[in-house]
Amino acid sequence: MAAAQSSELQSHAEGNGESIERSAFIETLSILYFGTRDEKQMLIFNMLDTSKKGRISKKNLKIILHHCLIWHHQTLPIILVQIGKILLVPHT
């Protein structure tokens, strides 16, 4: 089942001509669609640009928001809250 879903997402990605590296694109979409809450939170945490003291790079934020709005709009508020929680954690 997961393979079929991943294949469907891959064909959708190719059809849109996304410039994002395909494997990263598919992995990101798979987590946003089928991942647990912890996996989604970890995905966002991994997208943090730690060289800028916990800021999310514009490219990664654009990826998150783009896919949430187009394919998974009902999770957008949850994702934004998770981003906010991560950004509010003090970085030492």
Three-state SS string over 36-58 comes to: CHHHHHHHHHHCEEHHHCCEECH
What residue type is assigned to position 82 of the chain? Answer: Q
The candidate with the shortest Cα–Cα distance to 48, out of 36, 61, 37, 39, is 61
What pLDDT score was predicted for residue 27?
73
What pLDDT score was predicted for residue 67?
64
Rounded CA gap, 78 and 90, in Å?
21
Full pLDDT tens readout for the chain, 92 residues: 444 444 555 555 455 544 445 666 667 767 767 777 778 777 766 666 555 555 566 676 776 666 666 655 566 666 666 666 655 555 44
Three-state DSSP class for 72? coil
